[in-house]
């Protein structure tokens, strides 16, 4: 989001103010470009015209010949263009009219015929604000227009050398006038509006996730009294967003969705999203969807080759499964949430891969012990080594997927397959540990009952919260774990005491 930038010329203006130029500024209507002694930012003028609004300003105006400007007034000077009327502070019901304020800006009077040419040459100096016309009618002259300049680019109403040169070439008098410009709600950005409304010095709610037509917030306590206003501002300022929701509980339900309150707009939470060029429909109130996982979905799908087999144990609405099927993989996708399963089937049809994906609505453990075991046995029992497909098993349920890994212990019986075709697991986990990769590996080892030293890689997916990371550990399930009979070809790693799930539970309780 946009951040308010400080004007680099503020320091020099401060000095000039101290030397008493304010009186001249208040009287002057025009300033020649060469007249650098009318050296004040236009936006200050209005403050001086309405001194009652700024404590201390009237005293300053009276002592115009020499004074020290209060720091607070100086700080107010620059951002006027970027801050709505101060009276909106604390507003909880959106009143768009109250945001109006008038600022004084520099304008150039230009003959109608050459406005276009001038705009091209002077575009960097022209005022840009959302929804603001940069060229307006000249009320006093039908044959001319007024071009609104940015007071920060034309400080103190004084055009720089380059601008003067442009004007000279176009035969335009280098005369900058002051113009009372009314800024309205439409001319402010959402962050500027929220910064003006919410308590001073506290975080404004500017960051949200977008899921189709829905903006999804996770508001803090101090922002809650303003939540409906925040919702409306976000709808007003973001084309395409027609519904704003706030998370009202932490994400701990079985199905990884969360309770939410509609703050503004329509209550329809069925939406359409596009990720890595694939469209999905979903009901945001009932299924899990996180737009921050698109890179990770893409990363895993990138590892797959046509003909590979993918088992997606916690598939959601299909962001691994559907692109994999599109890539001509054989896909088995599962989710326990009946709503996710329903949308998974819907999205398979939507993307015309319903004949390439077999979908299940089972607990992950039952899926692994049932369909996965059956299909794995078949695939790995194929006679010729080269017929055996590469098998990937994705387990994206970071809060608990690592605890499902014990299912792989002796999942298959018989003669172990060659190491090359052992299935590869991509299992996700959260960690708050100072060495998250080490901790995730230890937890995976505890579940599997085998060391993964030198046989796994961990990938940092994203930072979920301060000190909380989401990781993906990938490894081929060791043959001596997967098969009931130990594989003689596989060398046992140097013995080390593996921590068990019980150890982790006890550690958690102790801390
Ligand atoms: C973090 S989401 C991941 C969804 C999807 N793979 C993605 O990347 O967007 C985890 C999914 O696991 C499902 N789930 C939760 N517990 C489950 C379980 N015991 N067995 C199967 N699925 C489960 C939830 O319904 C949810 O859709």
Kindly state whether residues 312 and 452 are assigned to the same domain. yes
Kindly state whether residues 297 and 445 are assigned to the same domain. yes
Q: How far is the CA of 313 from the centre of ligand 1 (A)?
A: 8
Kindly state whether residues 430 and 369 are assigned to the same domain. yes
Look at the chain and report how many structural domains it folds into.
3
**Which whole-number Å values give the CA distances from 338 to 258, 313, 371, 394, 399, in the listed order?**
16, 14, 18, 19, 20
147: nearest Cα among 169, 166, 171, 122: 122
Atom of ligand 1 nearest to the CA of 297: 8
HSE-CB of 244 using CA atoms within 13 angstroms? 23
Kindly state whether residues 54 and 144 are assigned to the same domain. yes
Atom of ligand 1 nearest to the CA of 399: 1
Q: How far is the CA of 308 from the centre of ligand 1 (A)?
A: 22
283 is in an annotated binding site: no
Atom of ligand 1 nearest to the CA of 315: 6
Beta bridge partners of 373: none
Kindly state whether residues 162 and 80 are assigned to the same domain. yes
147: nearest Cα among 135, 137, 158, 157: 135
Task: Return the SS3 of 279.
Answer: strand
480 is in an annotated binding site: no
- Residue 286 within any structural domain of the chain: no
Kindly state whether residues 420 and 339 are assigned to the same domain. yes
Kindly state whether residues 25 and 171 are assigned to the same domain. yes
Kindly state whether residues 215 and 98 are assigned to the same domain. no
- Residue 212 within any structural domain of the chain: yes
From 268, 283, 316, give the residue that closes a domain.
268
Axis-axis angle for helices 501-510, 436-448 (nearest 10): 130
363 is in an annotated binding site: yes
Residue minimizing CA distance to atom 25 of ligand 1: 255
- Residue 275 within any structural domain of the chain: no
Q: What CATH number is attached to the domain comprising 502?
A: 3.40.50.150
- Residue 457 within any structural domain of the chain: yes
Tell me which residues have their CB closer than 6 angstroms to ligand 1. Answer: 254-256, 288, 290, 293, 314-316, 319-320, 334-337, 340, 363-364, 396-397
382-386-389 Cα angle (round to 5):
65
150, 179 Cβ separation under 8 angstroms: no
Determine how many CB atoms are found less than 10 A away from the CB of residue 470: 22
- Residue 245 within any structural domain of the chain: yes
Kindly state whether residues 239 and 350 are assigned to the same domain. no
85-87-92 Cα angle (round to 5):
110
Residue minimizing CA distance to atom 5 of ligand 1: 316
Q: Write down the pLDDT at residue 510.
A: 60
Kindly state whether residues 313 and 263 are assigned to the same domain. no
353, 322 Cβ separation under 8 angstroms: yes
Determine which helix (DSSP H) or strand (DSSP E) holds 162, and give its type and residue range.
helix 161-169
336 is in an annotated binding site: yes
Encode 460-497 in three state secondary structure: EEEEEECCEEEEEEEEECCHHHHECCCCCCCCCCCCCC
Contacts of 178 (CB under 8 A, 6+ apart): 28, 29, 30, 31, 42, 45, 104, 105, 106, 107, 157
Contacts of 59 (CB under 8 A, 6+ apart): none
- Residue 5 within any structural domain of the chain: no
Atom of ligand 1 nearest to the CA of 317: 5
From 165, 186, 207, give the residue that closes a domain.
186
Task: Return the SS3 of 80.
Answer: helix
CA distance from start to end of the chain = 39
Axis-axis angle for helices 190-197, 227-237 (nearest 10): 160
From 133, 151, 186, give the residue that closes a domain.
186
Residue minimizing CA distance to atom 1 of ligand 1: 397
- Using CA atoms, how far apart are residues 240 and 243, in angstroms rounded to an integer? 9
335: nearest Cα among 349, 316, 354, 319: 316
24-28-34 Cα angle (round to 5):
90
308 is in an annotated binding site: no
Kindly state whether residues 90 and 182 are assigned to the same domain. yes
- Using CA atoms, how far apart are residues 212 and 208, in angstroms rounded to an integer? 12
Determine which helix (DSSP H) or strand (DSSP E) holds 217, and give its type and residue range.
strand 214-217
Q: Write down the pLDDT at residue 53.
A: 29
Kindly state whether residues 409 and 454 are assigned to the same domain. yes
The CA dihedral of 383, 381, 378, 309, to the nearest 10 degrees, is -80
- Using CA atoms, how far apart are residues 284 and 179, in angstroms rounded to an integer? 48
- Residue 4 within any structural domain of the chain: no
Q: What is the pLDDT along the chain (511 residues), one digit of tens a residue?
A: 222 222 333 333 322 222 222 222 222 233 222 222 222 232 322 222 333 322 222 222 222 222 222 222 233 345 677 888 999 999 999 999 999 999 999 999 999 999 999 999 888 899 999 999 999 999 889 999 999 999 988 888 888 888 888 889 888 888 899 999 999 999 999 999 999 999 998 888 668 999 999 999 999 999 999 999 999 999 999 999 999 999 876 655 666 666 889 999 999 999 999 999 999 999 999 999 999 999 999 999 999 999 999 999 999 999 999 999 999 999 999 999 999 999 999 999 999 999 999 999 999 999 999 999 999 998 888 777 778 899 999 999 999 999 999 999 999 988 888 888 999 999 999 999 999 999 999 999 999 999 999 999 999 999 998 999 999 999 999 999 999 865 455 545 555 556 666 666 566 556 5
Atom of ligand 1 nearest to the CA of 340: 27
- Residue 284 within any structural domain of the chain: no
Residue 479: give the domain boundaries. Answer: 293-510
Q: Write down the pLDDT at residue 259.
A: 80
Q: What CATH number is attached to the domain comprising 258?
A: 3.30.300.110
Tokens of 119: 């705009």
């Amino acid at each position: 989001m946009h951040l308010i930038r400080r004007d680099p010329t503020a320091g020099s203006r401060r000095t000039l103010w101290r030397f008493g130029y304010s009186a001249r500024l208040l009287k002057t209507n025009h300033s020649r470009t060469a007249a650098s002694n009318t050296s004040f930012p236009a936006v200050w003028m209005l403050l001086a015209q309405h001194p009652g609004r700024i404590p201390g300003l009237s005293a300053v105006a009276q002592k115009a010949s020499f004074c020290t400007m209060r720091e607070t007034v100086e700080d107010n000077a620059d951002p006027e263009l970027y801050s709505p009327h101060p009276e909106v502070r604390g507003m909880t019901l959106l009143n768009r009219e109250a945001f109006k304020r008038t600022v004084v800006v520099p304008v150039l009077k230009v003959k109608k015929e050459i406005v276009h040419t001038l705009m091209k040459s002077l575009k960097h100096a022209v005022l840009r604000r959302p929804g603001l016309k940069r060229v307006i009618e000249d009320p006093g002259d039908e044959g001319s227009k007024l071009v609104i300049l940015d007071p920060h680019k034309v400080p103190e109403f004084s055009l720089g050398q380059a601008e003067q040169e442009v004007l000279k070439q176009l035969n335009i008098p280098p005369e900058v006038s002051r113009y009372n410009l009314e800024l309205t709600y439409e001319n402010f950005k959402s962050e500027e509006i929220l910064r003006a409304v919410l308590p001073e010095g506290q975080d404004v709610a500017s960051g949200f996730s977008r899921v189709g037509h829905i903006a999804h917030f996770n508001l803090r306590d101090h922002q809650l009294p303003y939540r409906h206003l925040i919702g409306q501002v976000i709808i007003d300022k973001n084309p395409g967003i027609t519904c704003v929701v706030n998370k009202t509980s932490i994400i701990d339900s079985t199905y990884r969705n969360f309770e939410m309150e509609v703050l503004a707009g329509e209550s329809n939470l069925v939406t359409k999203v596009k990720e890595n060029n694939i469209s999905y429909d979903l009901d945001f109130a009932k299924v899990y969807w996180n737009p921050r996982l698109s890179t990770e979905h893409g990363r895993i799908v990138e590892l797959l080759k046509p003909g590979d087999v993918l088992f997606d144990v916690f598939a959601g609405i299909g962001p691994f499964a559907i692109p994999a099927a599109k890539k001509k993989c054989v896909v088995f996708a599962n989710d326990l949430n009946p709503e996710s399963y329903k949308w998974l089937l819907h999205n398979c049809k939507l993307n015309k891969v319903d004949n390439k994906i077999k979908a299940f609505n089972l607990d992950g453990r039952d899926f692994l012990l049932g369909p996965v075991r059956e299909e794995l046995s078949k695939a790995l029992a194929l006679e010729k080594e080269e017929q055996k497909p590469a098998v990937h098993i994705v387990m994206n349920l970071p809060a608990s997927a690592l605890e499902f890994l014990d299912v792989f212990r002796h999942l298959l019986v018989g003669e172990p397959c060659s190491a090359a075709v052992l299935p590869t697991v991509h299992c996700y986990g959260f960690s708050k540990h100072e060495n998250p990769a080490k901790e995730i590996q230890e937890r995976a080892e505890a579940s599997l009952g085998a060391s993964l030293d030198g046989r796994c890689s961990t990938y940092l997916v994203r930072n979920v919260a301060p000190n909380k990371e989401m990781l993906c550990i990938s490894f081929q399930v060791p043959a001596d774990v997967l098969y009931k009979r130990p594989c003689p070809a596989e060398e046992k790693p140097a013995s080390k005491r593996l921590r068990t799930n019980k150890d982790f539970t006890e550690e958690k309780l102790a801390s």
